[in-house]
């Protein structure tokens, strides 16, 4: 073992001995690096950390972490992680999957994990395509997408993962992208620190089957005009000269020139607002890959009304123990009517 593998503050400590087998140039490499670098900064132990995934390219992720891990079956990772989280609230649990895994076959488990607010950090790698099965449209592909299974163009309307998560009552919802390690690390850190279920959508490039899907938003030279950085407590502004902003008009978020409306008219972003309406409106600001798109943390709420699930499960165990005393098997078997035959 080399020295870096013994030092938890080094990326190498969090890297497994398995060869990474994503396609060269895949956005997943950047995400893996960000997660490993983040763990080198976090105060968590390797043995207390678990990565759980379903099926898909992204789902190979746990093999590349030196932590505990489970590469499960298609779509079910939120459910499997839920069982682990309920029974082991002491663990640092991450769920990793793609848009097909999480939103198609596993859509049900995702929304229920979010509504229950189980303490897991969910990374949704959204590349708007099925990669492992070689290029069919996904539940986030745009209408009209021509793929092997849709030669005349997809007629399915896509999910907006942020809107879906907010609709499911998620207490933490964020978005980042695979080209900005620093941004990823910060959003992942916040998601990890959040007590409850966190969902982070990652715009991830599939350079083989859907190359450049997000280029018009995330490419370095267009970012300033296309990426809207959500900052808690600040008016929502963006642009190379910060000249553009977002207002709420008729219940919808709309992009305006600040000069036209004045800064005071801009939406002030409050990530901890109980009301999900502004965050929901913000999630719908961009419904394609060519409009200015918000990034950062859409929602992050904690407090008594957003109880964390495993904590509540375990609190009921304590309460039952207080009320009835520790379970006694001998008594249990005699809890119904009994009689003696002599």
Q: Are 341 and 211 in contact (CB under 8 A)?
A: no
Q: Which of 7, 41, 48, 232 binds another protein (CB under 8 A)?
A: 48
**Burial letters for 67-102: b for 16+ Cβ neighbours within 10 Å, e otherwise?**
bbbebbebbbbbbbbbebbbeebebbbbbbbbbbbb
Q: How far is the CB of 53 from another protein (least distance, A)?
A: 9
Q: Does 336 bind another protein (CB under 8 A)?
A: yes
If you write DSSP's letter for every residue of 56-72 in order, what string do you get? SSGGGGGGGBSSEEEE-
Tokens of 160: 């907006």
Of 289, 313, 314, 124, give the one whose Cα is nearest residue 218: 289
Q: Which of 26, 31, 34, 79 binds another protein (CB under 8 A)?
A: 79
Q: Are 132 and 55 in contact (CB under 8 A)?
A: yes
Q: Does 335 bind another protein (CB under 8 A)?
A: yes
Q: Which of 52, 129, 173, 285 binds another protein (CB under 8 A)?
A: 52
Q: Does 340 bind another protein (CB under 8 A)?
A: yes
Gap between the Cα atoms of 186 and 189, Å rounded: 5
Q: How far is the CB of 21 from another protein (least distance, A)?
A: 9
Tokens of 323: 């009320």
Q: Does 236 bind another protein (CB under 8 A)?
A: no
Would you say 207 or 314 has its CB closer to another protein? 314
CA atoms within 13 A on the CB side of 6: 3
Would you say 69 or 278 has its CB closer to another protein? 69
Q: How far is the CB of 103 from another protein (least distance, A)?
A: 15
Stretch of 171-179, 236-244, 276-284, 317-325 lying at the interface with another protein (CB under 8 A) = 317-325
Chain residues that interact with another protein, rule: CB under 8 A:
1, 16, 18, 45-50, 52, 55, 62-63, 65-73, 76, 79-88, 90-91, 108-109, 112, 313-314, 316-317, 319-321, 323-327, 329-330, 332-342
């Amino acid at each position: 073992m080399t020295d870096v593998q013994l030092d938890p503050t080094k990326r190498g400590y969090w890297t497994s001995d398995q060869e990474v087998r994503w396609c060269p140039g895949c956005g997943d490499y950047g995400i893996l690096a960000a997660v490993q670098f983040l763990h080198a900064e976090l105060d968590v132990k390797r043995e207390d950390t678990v990565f759980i995934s379903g099926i898909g390219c992204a789902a190979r992720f746990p093999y590349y972490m030196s932590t505990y891990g489970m590469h499960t079956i298609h779509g079910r990772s939120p459910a499997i992680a839920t069982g682990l989280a309920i029974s082991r609230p002491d663990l640092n649990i991450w769920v990793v999957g793609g848009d097909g895994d999480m939103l198609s076959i596993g859509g049900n488990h995702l929304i229920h994990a979010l509504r229950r607010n189980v303490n897991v950090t969910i990374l949704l790698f959204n590349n708007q395509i099925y990669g492992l099965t070689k290029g069919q449209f996904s539940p986030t592909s745009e209408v009209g997408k021509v793929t092997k299974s849709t030669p005349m163009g997809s007629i399915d309307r896509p999910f907006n993962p942020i809107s879906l998560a907010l609709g499911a009552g998620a207490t933490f919802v964020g978005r980042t992208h695979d080209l900005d390690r620093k941004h990823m690390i910060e959003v992942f850190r916040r998601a990890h620190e959040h007590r409850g279920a966190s969902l982070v959508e990652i715009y991830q490039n599939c350079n083989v089957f859907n190359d450049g899907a997000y280029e018009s938003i995330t490419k370095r030279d267009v970012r300033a005009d296309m990426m809207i950085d959500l900052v808690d407590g600040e008016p929502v502004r963006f642009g190379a000269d910060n000249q553009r902003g977002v207002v709420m008009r008729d219940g919808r978020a709309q992009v305006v020139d600040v000069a036209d409306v004045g800064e005071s008219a801009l939406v002030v972003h409050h990530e901890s607002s109980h009301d999900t309406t502004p965050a929901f409106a913000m999630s719908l600001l961009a419904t394609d890959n060519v409009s200015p798109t918000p990034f950062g943390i859409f929602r992050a709420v904690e407090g008594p009304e957003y109880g964390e699930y495993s904590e509540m499960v375990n609190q009921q165990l304590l309460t039952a123990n207080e009320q009835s005393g520790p379970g006694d098997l001998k008594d249990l078997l005699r809890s119904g009517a009994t009689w003696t035959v002599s």
